[in-house]
Each structure stands twice: as structure tokens, then as C-alpha cells.
Amino acid sequence: FFFFFFFLMIRRPPRSTLSSSSAASDVYKRQVSMSTDARTITVEPLVNMGQISRYLIPKGWTLAVLPELDELTVGGLLMGFGIESSSHIHGLFQDICVEFEVMLGDGSVVRARADNEYADLFYALPWSYGTIGLVMSATLKIIPCKPFIRMSYRRFDTMESFGKAIEDESRKKDEKTALFIEGLGYSATSGVLMTAAFVDSPKPDPKDKGCKYNNIGLWHKPWFYEHVQKLAAPLKGDGSDEICEIVPLRAYYHRHTKAIFWEMQYIIPFANQAWFRYLLGWAIPPNIPPVSYTHLRAHETPEHLVCRLLLEKKKKKNHIVMSYMTKANKHTIFSVERVTHS
């Protein structure tokens, strides 16, 4: 009973239970406009990724770059350090912003674009942490989407082959180019490369032997990074074979939400056990501010390290984004993305 009421207090707002109409209402409260002709949506900065994905996907649209955690806000991603999921096609999150509506220090409100008199302000605002002006709204690029994703997984047992596979996938320029590329590393010598593309139906193509539908976003499903490790375990370590799944698009976008990537193992260590997932999986992840006042704070141990790196390769004009976490005497887990800088 203690744990039940504890989670009622700290649980996040329900995600999967919101109807499309209530999701639309949520976003309309802060939405300024959406234009399918211009392929943009204009929202106030407190709109978060969960609200946007619930609103856009049923309409057949999505943000060109949609970071994976539900509660990340547009303002925080633009003005803070928003290098969550990025895109080898569209760039970092700020690269999909085409206009800022900004209140300056003197109280005046201006619209900053790359092609108007406030172009210097437009380029200076990302990652400025609100020191230049107060963002009132942002206009973001949207692209057409389909309701499902086909994900393929390949395992590599050396970092050299793993890195080369990410490089090769991100540089493809034909019809086989993957829309989404992500790598999860489970040690200094092993990792799993995931590529994904939009599909219309949850039914796998008959040519995809062993491919199955899997709604990874359901409350009782295991944490994504552990699911991937188990799924890829039978594969060859040279990346020569693969296994695939069909996943709902929104579940794919927010695949790391339940485990906060892999941080939940330090906040609530038993939260990925089957009994907990089925009974209280709906409450995961908890609302972090209340948790931060309890003994469940993951960062209280000196053995815990979280590091996010943005490494620029100037000659090739792209970035490597690496999220890294480790704990002494335990395995290292990290994710890698290659991002084309637009």
C-alpha cells in the first residue's frame, strides 16, 4: 500500500490513456497555428514532445526531429541544451526551427528568422538559456509520417565495425536510406545498431521472416534498452544478419521514456521486474521533482556518471552525439547518433 500511494503521488500525467480529442485540446491551449502547406507548426514554449506527438501523428504529420522523452518542452530544447534524439537528415532540434517570436529586454516583441533583419538574433537564441530574450512561440518544421515504424536490429562485437556501420548507414543517399539511425552500446566492445523507416501497416511484410508487431510503449513492456539487448543476443556479432519489428510510431518516438534511457535502474532498481511492470508500470517514469527529494536520487552516488557529448567533425560537416552512462564495477551503456549539420 505504501508503494501504491507513493506512486500515485509522484506519477506522471497519464500518457496512453489520453484520447485524441483531449490531446488536441491540450495542444490547442498553446498552439498558435499549423500549416500543412508550409509544413510548419507554431507552438508556445511549454508545449512538450508528448503533446506534440499525440496531436500530430493521428493527422499524418510529425516534427522533423522529435526528441524521445515525453516531457521535454519546445522552449527547453531550443533554449537549453536539446541534444536528445537528432537526425542525420534534418539536424539538431534547433535546425527545424524556422522562426522565433521573442520578447526583448525592452519589452518589444519581434519575429526572428534566418532571412529577416533579426537573423543574428535567430542564430544566437538556441542554447542561450534565456539570456537574450523570452521566447513567446516557435515555428517548427513538420513532415508527413505513417502510423508505424519498421525497426531492424544488428549486433556488432567490435567498436570499429559498430562505428563503421553507423557511418555507412548515415551516408546512404538512395531509397534505402534509413529515416532513423541509433546505436546502443552495451560495453566497450559491443553494440546494437537500429535503423527504422515509416510503414503503413502493423502487419510485417511476408518477406521479413521472423518480423513481428510489438507495441513497445505499453505499460507492461520491458525497458527499451534491455529489450534491444535481449532481442539482439542471438544475432551474429558481425552485423551480417538482422531481426526486425513493427512498432507504433509514437511508441518508437518515446521508446526511452519509461526507463529515462537507462537511469531508472538507479532511481527504482526493481522497476523493470515483471511483477512491477504489470502492477505499477503505468506510473513509470515517476515525476522527477518529487523523487529528487527522496533517497531514490540516482546521482547521490559518486560512482554514477552521466555525460552527453557533441563532437564536431569539421571536414565532414556533421556531428556525433553520444549519451554516456557508467557505474563502477558494472557495464557501460551509451547511445550514439550521427547528425548532419544543416
What are the tens digits of pLDDT across the range 121-143? 999 999 898 899 999 999 999 99
Largest CA distance in the chain: 63
Measured distance CA(227)–CA(62) in Å, rounded: 25
pLDDT band at residue 329, thresholds of 50, 70 and 90? Answer: very low
pLDDT value of residue 214: 94
DSSP conformation class of 125: S
pLDDT value of residue 325: 46
DSSP conformation class of 156: E
Higher pLDDT, 17 or 212: 212
DSSP string, 285-340: SBPHHHHTTSTT-GGGSTTEEEEEEEEEEGGGTEEEEEEEEEETTS--EEEEEEEE
Higher pLDDT, 130 or 29: 130
pLDDT, tens digit, for every residue of 34-55?
A: 899 999 999 999 899 999 999 9
Backbone CA torsion sign across 121, 127, 133, 136: positive
Q: Report the first-to-last Cα separation within the chain, whole angstroms.
A: 52
Q: Which amino acid is at 5?
A: F
User: 192-206 burial by CB neighbour count: b if 16+ within 10 A, else e?
Assistant: bbbbbebbeeeebee
180-185 vs 191-199, strand pairing mode? antiparallel
DSSP conformation class of 94: G
User: 182-191 burial by CB neighbour count: b if 16+ within 10 A, else e?
Assistant: bbbbbeeebb
Strand partners, 138: 43, 100
Q: Pick the closest to residue 169 from 185, 152, 146, 157 (CA basis).
A: 152
pLDDT band at residue 80, thresholds of 50, 70 and 90? Answer: confident
Note whether 127 and 94 are within 8 A (CB).
Answer: yes
Place of cell 508528448: 50
pLDDT, tens digit, for every residue of 207-217?
A: 888 899 999 99
Measured distance CA(102)–CA(16) in Å, rounded: 33
pLDDT, tens digit, for every residue of 193-203?
A: 999 999 999 99
243-248 vs 212-213, strand pairing mode? parallel
